Amino acid sequence: MTRNSTNLPRLAFTMGDPAGIGPELCLRLLARPDLPVRPPVIGDGPWLSRTARALGLDLGLRVLDDVAASAPEAGLVEVLEVGRLPRGLRLGEVQAEAGALAYAYVRRGIELCREERLQGLVTAPLHKEALAAAGVPFPGHTEMLEHHAGVPATAMMLATPELRVVLVTIHVALRQAIERLDVAAELRAIRFAEMGGRAFGIVKPRIAVAGLNPHAGEGGLFGDEEGRIIAPAIERARAEGLDVSGPWPGDTVFLQAREGRFDVVVAQYHDQGLIPIKYLGLAEGVNVTLGLPFVRTSPDHGTAFDIAGRGLADPSSMARALSVAVELCRTG
């Protein structure tokens, strides 16, 4: 028995690295009777069946040849199969086979979105070392989504109910992140922050740009990037009509945003933006890829190899990612 899904967003889960907690997250969510939508899982059917049995979840499984027109009732998991995992795959370890198939799941999801058979993806975590072991030329979801979606640029937004952050640079060494900062990169991130705020229903987002150096450079005493790169980009964004200010000291701007002064913060590098997001709690954090022609969200945590297969994975962030994906499909 199915329920009509005509007015529900057409989404899919990607299973993530099968040696991590991704399969468990998908199954624990699909076992809930109160989900707003019940996406199919792009992954491996037998692996999901074994995982469900190991977790003691009473779930049936149906393999699909294509995206279904209707959603299954609780207790049934639909799978769009891509490849087949080797029998000897080990939980909690970096393996090239797992990285290759995790990448294939995402590529299939992108294809379905580009063909407009899906409106978006909710992606379970990948492992960067497994991707590298498989020869995948991308360090993470954001880069592979940008490439295979055929868009000129994307940005990573991390969002909780209290804080939204857009990154100027993402998965590069800190030294490289600093070297890559220029006015064009700053301006692009500010524009993406505007886009992200609007995606969450904010008509004119108030954007704060964090400085790179301690105390936002202290007038040039601790570095000149604020005056040479960040401030000119802010001025250009203001000339375009964006409500943006800064550069603000990185040690206080996130607190000000959390207290309601700003809607989105532009962070200069990965850890500057992700530490405050993750400090607020992994259960609420969601990664949103901006700039795609479809919706993509994911939980704000990794593959958790240390607990894979132990039945300890918390699906709260994955549930939040699904909820945000539904919201973005409806507002977009």
For 201: left if phi > 0, alpha if psi spans -120 to 50, otherwise beta; the answer is left
The answer to pTM > 0.85 is yes
Rounded CA-CA distance 198/8 in Å is 21
Q: Which CATH superfamily is domain 161-280 in?
A: Isopropylmalate Dehydrogenase (3.40.718.10)
The CATH architecture that domain 1-152+292-332 belongs to is 3-Layer(aba) Sandwich (3.40)
Domain ranges of the chain: 1-152+292-332, 161-280
- Copy the structure tokens of residue 36: 């707003």
Q: Tell me the residue type at 126.
A: L
Taking only the tens place, the pLDDT of each residue in 249-289 is 999 999 999 999 999 999 999 999 999 998 887 778 899 99
Q: Do domains 1-152+292-332 and 161-280 have the same CATH topology?
A: yes
Q: How confident is the model at residue 6 (pLDDT cuts 50, 70, 90)?
A: low
Share above pLDDT 90 across residues of the chain, in percent, rounded to a whole number: 82
Rounded CA-CA distance 45/101 in Å is 13
Rounded CA-CA distance 3/69 in Å is 10
Taking only the tens place, the pLDDT of each residue in 8-61 is 899 999 999 999 999 999 999 999 988 889 999 999 999 999 999 999 999 999
Strands (E), the chain: 2-4, 11-14, 41-43, 60-64, 70-72, 76-81, 120-123, 155-159, 164-167, 206-210, 243-248, 264-267, 286-290, 295-299
